[in-house]
Amino acid sequence: MHALPGTGERLVVLGVAESDAHAVANQLIALQLRDHGFTVVNLGVCTPLVDFADALDAHPQAEAVLVGSLNGHAHHDLRDLPGLRAAGRLDRPLILGGNLSVGSRTSEEDLQRLRDLGVDHILADTSELVLLLDRLRTTGKTAELHHG
């Protein structure tokens, strides 16, 4: 785990879901966030959910946890989210993006299954990420949000 500083005090935890080794989008998102002044704790690819929780323990000032998944197995990779949240871990907004289901289309049912696990925000377009983070900061919303 390494933090790459931006120019401001805002910090996020970023990584790719446990069963996913797609690194390019992860690096591009980290670059985008650093360009907007964020410090990014980038856990890289194939990151178990508990590692995201450990990163929050190490960086309690983190605003959000950002999880990418491009292989379509996000629901399986996030299956431990309810238990971690019940244990008081991962108590920041969890934002998920990527290809979130196996097949060419992600249905509303697929998205609802992810929300039911406790995913707070699902992004279809990374260009919306900084706007979402700004909105969360402005409104003071935390993990009890469950939006798409």
Which residue ranges form the domains of the chain, and what is each CATH number? 2-139 (3.40.50.280)
Residue 2 — pLDDT band, cuts 50, 70, 90? low
Residue 147 — pLDDT band, cuts 50, 70, 90? very low
Task: Count the Cβ atoms, other than its own, within 10 Å of residue 38.
Answer: 26
Q: Is the pLDDT of residue 6 over 80?
A: no
Cα–Cα distance measured from residue 16 to residue 18, given in angstroms and rounded to the nearest whole number: 7
Q: Which of 100, 126, 125 is nearest to 111 (CA)?
A: 100
Return left, alpha or beta for 90; rule: phi > 0 is left, psi -120 to 50 is alpha, else beta.
left
